[in-house]
Structure 1
Amino acid sequence: MLLQRNFLSLALAAGVMSLASCTKGGGDFAKTPSGIEYKVFKNEGGKYSGREVAATGDETYKSRLGKILALNVEYRTYKDSILFNSRKQQGLPMRIELQDVKVKGGIEEAIAMLQPGDSAIFRFNVDTIFAKSFKQPVPPFMKPKAGKDAKAEPAFMTMYVKADKLQTREEATADQQKQMEEQQKKMMAYAEEQIKKDDVILQDYIKKNNLTAKKDPSGIYYVVTKPGTGAAPKQGQTVSVLYKGSLLDGKVFDSSEKMGNKPIEFPLGVGQVIPGWDKGIALLNKGTKATLLIPSSLAYGQRGAGQDIPADAPLRFDVELVDVK
Structure 2
Amino acid sequence: MLRKSLLLWPAVVASAVGLNACNQANANFAKTKSGIEYKIFDKSGKAKDIKPETAAADYKKNVGQIIALHVEYHTAKDSVLFQSRKQQMGFPVRVPLQEVTRKGGLEEAISLLQPGDSGVFRFNADSLSLKTTGQPAPPQIKKHGNTMTLFVKVAAIQNQADAMAAQQKAMQEMQAKMQQHEAAQKPLDEKTIQEYVQKNNLPAKKTASGVYYVITQPGSGATPKQGESVSVNYRGTLLSGKEFDSSAKGNGGRPIEFPLGVGAVIPGWDEGIALLNKGSKATLIIPSALAYGQRGAGADIPADAVLRFDVELVDIKPAAAPAPGMMPGGMPQGAPQGR
Q: Which bin holds the TM-score, normalised by the shorter protein? A: 0.7 to 0.9
Q: What is the correspondence of 1:308-319 to structure 2 with a 5 Å cutoff?
A: 308-319=300-311
Q: Which residue of 2 aligns with 1:192?
A: 183
Code of the residue aligned with 1:72 in structure 2: it is H
Shift of 1:8: 4.9
Shift of 1:267: 0.9
Q: Which residue of 2 aligns with 1:221?
A: 212
Q: Which residue of 1 aligns with 2:323?
A: none
1:286 to 275, 278, 281: 278
Shift of 1:287: 2.4
Change (3 A) 1:287 1:144: closer
Q: What is the correspondence of 1:210-289 to structure 2 with a 5 Å cutoff?
A: 210-258=201-249, 259-289=251-281
In structure 2, distance between residues paired with 1:184 and 1:177: 11
Shift of 1:274: 1.0
Computed over aligned residues only, the root mean square deviation of the Cα atoms, in angstroms, reads 2.2
In structure 2, distance between residues paired with 1:107 and 1:57: 18
Preserved contact between residue 57 and residue 112 of structure 1 (Cα < 8 Å)? no
Q: Which runs of 4+ in 1 moved over 3 A?
A: 141-145
In structure 2, distance between residues paired with 1:174 and 1:72: 18
Q: Which residue of 1 aligns with 2:33?
A: 33
Residue aligned with 1:244, SS = strand
Does 232-241 or 127-136 show the bigger shift? 127-136
Change (3 A) 1:97 1:256: closer
Q: Which residue of 2 aligns with 1:150?
A: none
Q: Which has the larger radius of gyration?
A: 1
TM-score by length of 1: 0.87
Q: Which residue of 1 aligns with 2:73?
A: 75
In structure 1, distance between residues paired with 2:228 and 2:53: 55
In structure 1, distance between residues paired with 2:68 and 2:137: 27
1:201 to 192, 201, 204: 192
Q: Which residue of 2 aligns with 1:19?
A: 20
In structure 2, distance between residues paired with 1:311 and 1:229: 37
Q: What is the correspondence of 1:40-55 to structure 2 with a 5 Å cutoff?
A: 40-43=40-43, 47-55=44-52
Change (3 A) 1:218 1:118: same
Q: Which residue of 2 aligns with 1:127?
A: 126
Q: Identity, % of aligned pairs?
A: 56
Preserved contact between residue 10 and residue 73 of structure 1 (Cα < 8 Å)? no
Residue aligned with 2:235, SS = strand
In structure 1, distance between residues paired with 2:62 and 2:148: 27
Code of the residue aligned with 1:161 in structure 2: it is V
Q: Deviations over 1:156-177 (max 9, x none)?
A: 2111111121111111111111
Residue aligned with 1:175, SS = helix
Preserved contact between residue 19 and residue 153 of structure 2 (Cα < 8 Å)? no
In structure 2, distance between residues paired with 1:87 and 1:283: 36
Change (3 A) 1:234 1:169: same
Preserved contact between residue 121 and residue 158 of structure 1 (Cα < 8 Å)? yes
TM-score by length of 2: 0.84
Does 200-209 or 235-244 show the bigger shift? 235-244
Shift of 1:137: 1.5
Change (3 A) 1:136 1:7: farther
Q: Which residue of 1 aligns with 2:157?
A: 166
Structure 1 unpaired stretches of 5+: 146-153
Preserved contact between residue 15 and residue 162 of structure 1 (Cα < 8 Å)? no
Shift of 1:55: 4.1
In structure 1, distance between residues paired with 2:73 and 2:207: 40
Q: Deviations over 1:165-197 (max 9, x none)?
A: 111111111111111111011112211221211
Structure 2 unpaired stretches of 5+: 9-14, 318-339
Does 76-85 or 197-206 show the bigger shift? 76-85
Code of the residue aligned with 2:139 in structure 1: it is P
Residue aligned with 1:16, SS = coil
Residue aligned with 2:119, SS = strand
Equivalenced residue count is 308
